[in-house]
Amino acid sequence: MSKKQMKQSPKVATKLSYGGAEDKGRRKSPLQRIRHEQIILPRMKRERLQATAQDQNRDHSIVAWMVRKHLDYVSSFHFSFRTADPDATDTDPKSKLDSLVNRIFRWHGAPRNIDFFGRFGRDELFRLFELEKVICGDAGFIKLDDLKLMAVESDMIAKGQAISDNVTESDKAEYQNVNDAGLLVDEWGRVVKYAICNRGKDGNGRYFDHLEPFPNMIFDAYWTRFSSQWRGVSPLSTAINTVADIHEALEYNIIKAKMHALFGVAITRKSEDGSFGAGSGAIDDQPNATIALPVTAEQKTLDPRSINMLDLEVGEDVKMIESASPSTQFVEGMYFYSQIAMIALDIPVASFDSRRSSFSARIADLNEYEVSCNSKRTKNRYVRQEYSNWVLETIWNDPLTPWPLRQVSESAGYSLRDVQEAVEWVAAGSPWLDKYKQVQGDQLAIGMGLDNPIDSARRRGSNVFTNIEKTAQVLRYAEKLKVPILIGDTPMGYVETNPDLPPQGGAQ
């Protein structure tokens, strides 16, 4: 090809792009702009989404089960505080500090000490906090001066439909600057105050009550954006339509099965001469045609609760109308769609029906689910940590408190920050699926240096030091009552009077 021909050759346009950015006309057109989440989900749409999610949790078993399963794994924690060595005496300053702090949080966990309404203990209160987050997207606690927490549901952080009578003039003035998300933000978009509403006397409204400063709130949310978002979005939002379809399909199939059950018996009669009765004319081309004859009194009295004996005429036949509803295909489809819905909360299908998985598959599913739970547990751990920091700081700075936290801490050489950092909120962990096999695996991993007793115990929501202390109490008591104890292959407790046990046994 000559140079002239090469110059005259048409140029082939090369276009490089992502397929998701091209509109081929075969599916929904790609979106054109990226906006703030508040523009995508404004107040009215957000309320509809929350109301639908709440209704499904109230009325649909699969959603209620998904949420309960989620809460079991991500919202259960136990309090842990230890500064002293395990062998320290009760007179050690750090032992006194440990005892005092643990007593404070045992006391504060009671409903009348932590909940403004006095209904929920600490564990149930924080479980409901996560429940509100997962259904409505976010939730809050107001820290009160008397060390109580007031729960604030997601839709109560908003611009009210009216202003309550008891609102101060300063709050009324600032309320004019509250955005559509119910927040007062600065020029950088950071939250300064929350607009708190109440439901009114009839419980059916939403009236602005007051502005709560940011430091006085414990607020957490399920975020979907890095910075362009003020309010959280429920992770159930991706499953709402699927759950509605599942619920409707189940109802329709149940109705279909009921209709089949209503028509349980069919009696077929055939004319011997091929006619439909006197005066109707012959139908030679249909000698076995089914005809309609009057129902006898005997057939009218069929009783489904007793044994019925029918004396049929020649040519009559009784058939049972049976239904294959729900069909095998429908059942399999429901399993598939249910699994799609459960993905919204990362719940493995083995949790829904363990019969469909082997033991090893269930272990693998549980391990993957644990990974997905880590970030959610971390969010809840931060919330609990903020709560415990607030309790300790309030008691520390209160000159009238009955708890001598400052004095005991300083005698042990601990500052307020040191005490706050020594608090641990340990996740409840996962249940045993096969305790014997899993214990063997933990023992082997610990022996090879791949694990340790502290983390192994924590994965099951336990504390290895507490376990050892309780075991020592049992052994001391067994020694006192002269009761032999065998732990593993090693005899412990009282052994002197038992000649069959080796001499190395004894109380530990």
Q: What is the pLDDT of residues 136-166, one digit of tens each?
A: 999 999 999 999 999 999 999 999 888 988 8
What is the C-alpha separation between 334 and 251, in angstroms, rounded?
12
CA 248 vs. chain centroid, Å, equals 23
Residue 289 resides in a domain: yes
Residue 297, pLDDT above cutoff 70: no
Per-residue confidence band for 273, with pLDDT thresholds at 50, 70 and 90: low
- Which tokens in the block code for residue 482? 């002269």
**In percent, how much of the chain has pLDDT > 90?**
46
Max intra-chain CA distance, the chain:
114
pLDDT band, very low/low/confident/very high, at 22 (cuts 50, 70, 90) = low
pLDDT at 401 over 80: yes
pLDDT tens digits for 468-484?
888 888 888 888 888 88
Whether 2 shows a pLDDT value over 70: the answer reads: no
Across the range 287-313, mean pLDDT stands at 59
Structure token pair of residue 201: 């006397």
- Specify if 452 maps to a domain: no
Examine residue 37 and state whether it is found in any structural domain, yes or no.
no
Of 78-87, 190-199, 282-291, the least confident: 282-291
Tens digit of each residue's pLDDT (9 = 90 or more) over 417-431: 999 999 999 888 777
Identify the domain containing residue 270 by its residue range: 251-329
User: Is cis: bond before 304, omega within 30 of 0?
Assistant: no
Identity at 145, one-letter amino acid code:
D
Strand partners, 193: 184, 213
475 or 392, which is more confident: 392
Q: What is the mean pLDDT of residues 387-410?
A: 96
- Residue 277 makes CB contacts below 8 A (sequence gap 6+) with 271, 291, 293
Question: What are the tokens at 111?
Answer: 């409903």
Say if residue 293's pLDDT is above 60.
Answer: no
Please, which contacts does 190-193 make with residues 24 or more away whose CB atoms are closer than 8 Å?
191/219, 191/230
What does the pLDDT read at residue 281? 44
Q: What 8-state DSSP symbol labels residue 75?
A: S
Residue 258 domain-assigned (yes or no) = yes
CA 315 to chain centre: 62
User: In sequence order, what are the residues at sequence separation of 6 or more whose Cβ sits closer than 8 angstroms to the Cβ of residue 188?
Assistant: none
Three-state SS letters, 331-345: HHHHHHHHHHHHHHH
In a domain, 311, yes or no: yes
CA–CA dist 74, 72 (Å, integer): 6
Higher pLDDT, 224 or 432: 224
> C-alpha distances in angstroms, 116 versus 165, 390, 392, 503?
22, 16, 18, 59
Which is higher by pLDDT, 297 or 176?
A: 176
More confident residue, 217 or 506: 217
77: β partners: 427
Structure confidence at residue 455 as a pLDDT band (50, 70, 90): confident
Mean pLDDT of the chain: 83
pLDDT score at 31: 73
pLDDT at position 19 is 61
Q: What's the confidence (pLDDT) of residue 265?
A: 65
DSSP H helix total and E strand total for the chain:
18, 13
Number of CB atoms found within 10 A of residue 213's CB: 11
Lowest model confidence (mean pLDDT) among 66-75, 281-290, 359-368: 281-290
**CB count in 10 Å sphere of residue 326:** 18
State the Rg of the chain over Cα: 35
Give the model's pLDDT for residue 66.
94
Q: What average pLDDT does the segment 31-37 reach?
A: 83
| Domain annotation covers residue 305 | yes
Query: What pLDDT shows up at residue 397?
Result: 96
Q: Is residue 206 part of a domain?
A: no
Distance CA 403, CA 101 (A): 9
CB 181 within 8 A of CB 226: no
pLDDT at 483: 83
Over range 338-357, report the average pLDDT: 85
Residues 6+ apart with CB under 8 A from 101: 81, 392, 405, 419, 422, 423
- Whether pLDDT at 276 is above 70: no
Asked, for residue 277, whether it belongs to a domain, the answer is: yes
What is the tally of structural domains in the chain? 1
**Tens-digit pLDDT profile for residues 308-335:** 666 667 777 776 666 666 788 888 888 8
